[in-house]
Chains A and B, each alone.
Chain A
Amino acid sequence: MPTAEELKQRIEASIPGAKAQVASPDDVHFSAQVESPAFAGLSRVQQHRLVYDIFAGELGGAIHALQLKTEVP
């Protein structure tokens, strides 16, 4: 099962300059706050896609839910 720490590391490794805070009560439902300069100029939908793309195929499976908040620092 993925852990919050693992998700945090994968987000930060995949999105340039990203800082992520990830929490999970059960290693199935996650909530993440992600800040990255790479989000600048993107719509919220595009920002969330950047994060979702990291976990393609896992959302709805091992990662049952990923609550997301994205911000430009």
Chain B
Amino acid sequence: MSENPYRDAIQKAIAENDVILFMKGTPEAPACGFSARTVATLQALETPFTAVDVLPDPRIRQELSALSNWPTIPQLFAGGELVGGCDIVTEMYQSGELAQVLGAAPGSGTATPPPPAGVQAAAAPMGIENRLGA
């Protein structure tokens, strides 16, 4: 671990989860309209995803934006890459690109290691939040 445990935890989460959404609030209770819309889009595609709430600690958001070079929340990552925020996700959903990108994310042959078994199917995707807040 480096001297920045937040950045390490975020990097690890992005690498280990094929589809991961950093958002305000939770999928069940989004705290912002843009996060809500992004969750609804992912749910419309029936894409399993891991969600991380950035609100409990401002350092999560600071480190995430420093890492991704993206100033706003939500941020969707697939296969270790930033897909975009709410506008891009919505646009790509409408054009059909999002299904392609997310469909191709698992085992797409990138340098990202495959997730441990069971991560995709996890019913409680918020487990990671605890690790980030630890």
B80 within 8 A of A: no
Pick from B69, B71, B88: contact of A60, CB below 8 A: B71
In contact, B87 and A68 (Cβ under 8 angstroms)? yes
Q: Does A69 contact B (CB under 8 A)?
A: yes
Size of interface on B: residues with Cβ below 8 Å to A: 14
Selected contact of A59 from candidates B71, B82, B84, B88, CB within 8 Å: B71
Number of A-B contacts (CB under 8 A): 31
* Cβ contact within 8 Å between A60 and B72: yes
User: Taking the nearest CB of chain A, how far is it from the CB of B59, in angstroms?
Assistant: 15
CB neighbours of B92 from chain A (8 A): 44
**Chain A residues, CB < 8 A from B70:** 45, 49, 52
Docked complex: A23-73 residues within 8 A CB-CB of B: 44-45, 48-49, 52, 56, 59-60, 65-69
Cross-chain contact A45 with B84 (CB below 8 angstroms): yes
> CB-nearest residue of chain A relative to B86?
A67
B71 A44 Cβ-Cβ under 8 A: no
Task: List the A residue with the shortest CB-CB distance to B82.
Answer: A45
Chain A residues in contact with chain B, CB under 8 A?
Answer: 44-45, 48-49, 52, 56, 59-60, 65-69
